[in-house]
Amino acid sequence: MTHPMMIKWLGLTLVLLHAGLHVHGSNDVSDPECWTPWFNRDDASGTGDYETLSDLQKENPGKICEHPIQIEVTTTSGDSVDSTGDVIQVSDTNTGFICENANQTHNGSCADYKIRFMCPLEFCGPEVCKTPWYNQDYSGESGDYEMLDMISAANPGEICDLPLGIEVQTVDGKPYTSTGETIAVMDTETGFICKNDDQKDGGCSDYKVRFICPLDFCKTKE
């Protein structure tokens, strides 16, 4: 098994490769996710290409979460679905992917496709762990500043040097996105900043943060 390795953030992009799973956070790093391996259970030699979620889960036990967040589909050669000109019957996280030959008019059959699913980060475990929640500041004079360096200094040994992700909620447990507030910074280098001046109503909510660390970091504390 390939040992997990962390490639440093480029902007707000995180890539962690381990055990065939791709863990990443895009611009929304508060909710990191992971990708399954690619699957290609069928081809268009019969009535079409049926890459259905239920069949894939049965044939690959433990490799796909029960309720995927997102689906990605390409041809087996890596071309986009749009480039094929195929009419796609289904492509979603409930059913999976279906391309039926009967629906094709350009050449009578579908291309050969492969798919993968995005799952919650916890499904990819046990490669990662999470710190406790921290609330070192509140939206007083200038805003809510949950700074990684200050939180680490106030809680020595509780946060890894290079976190893999950050999660943010209001202090009463609501997603930060529910507030509709403009967030100035939210990353694994600085932490979280909400500035009062950026808000239409003049003030930020009170937020708490926690960080995602490699599992090895947590084991050293046990």
The CB-based long-range contact list for 168-175 (8 Å cut-off, 24+ gap) reads 168/30, 168/192, 168/207, 168/208, 168/209, 169/133, 169/207, 169/208, 170/205, 170/206, 170/207, 170/208, 171/135, 171/205, 171/206, 171/207, 171/208, 175/30
Residues 95-127: pLDDT tens digits? 999 999 999 988 889 999 999 999 987 787 656
The Cα–Cα gap between 9 and 220 comes to 24
Q: Which of 69, 100, 124 is the last residue of a domain?
A: 124
pLDDT of residue 94: 94
Residue 2 domain-assigned (yes or no): no
Number of domains forming the structure of the chain? 2
Q: Which of 66, 98, 124 is the last residue of a domain?
A: 124
200 CB-contact burial (10 Å; exposed 0-12 / middle 13-18 / buried 19+): exposed
pLDDT of residue 13: 28
Same-domain status, 111 and 135: no
Same-domain status, 70 and 142: no
Question: Structural domain of residue 73, as residue ranges?
Answer: 32-124
pTM of the predicted structure, to 2 decimals: 0.49
pLDDT of residue 154: 95
Residues 170-200: pLDDT tens digits? 999 888 888 889 999 999 999 999 999 999 8
pLDDT of residue 125: 64
The Cα–Cα gap between 196 and 201 comes to 8
Give whole-number Cα distances, 72 to 29, 58, 96, 117, in Å.
Answer: 19, 19, 10, 6
Residue 84 domain-assigned (yes or no): yes
pLDDT of residue 217: 87
pLDDT of residue 8: 30
Give whole-number Cα distances, 16 to 54, 105, 121, 150, 177, in Å.
Answer: 27, 41, 11, 26, 25
Same-domain status, 141 and 200: yes
Residue 157 domain-assigned (yes or no): yes
Residue 103 domain-assigned (yes or no): yes
Residue 15 domain-assigned (yes or no): no
Q: Which of 80, 98, 124 is the last residue of a domain?
A: 124
Residue 132 domain-assigned (yes or no): yes
pLDDT of residue 18: 31
Residues of the chain short of pLDDT 50, as ranges, are 1-31
Same-domain status, 140 and 85: no
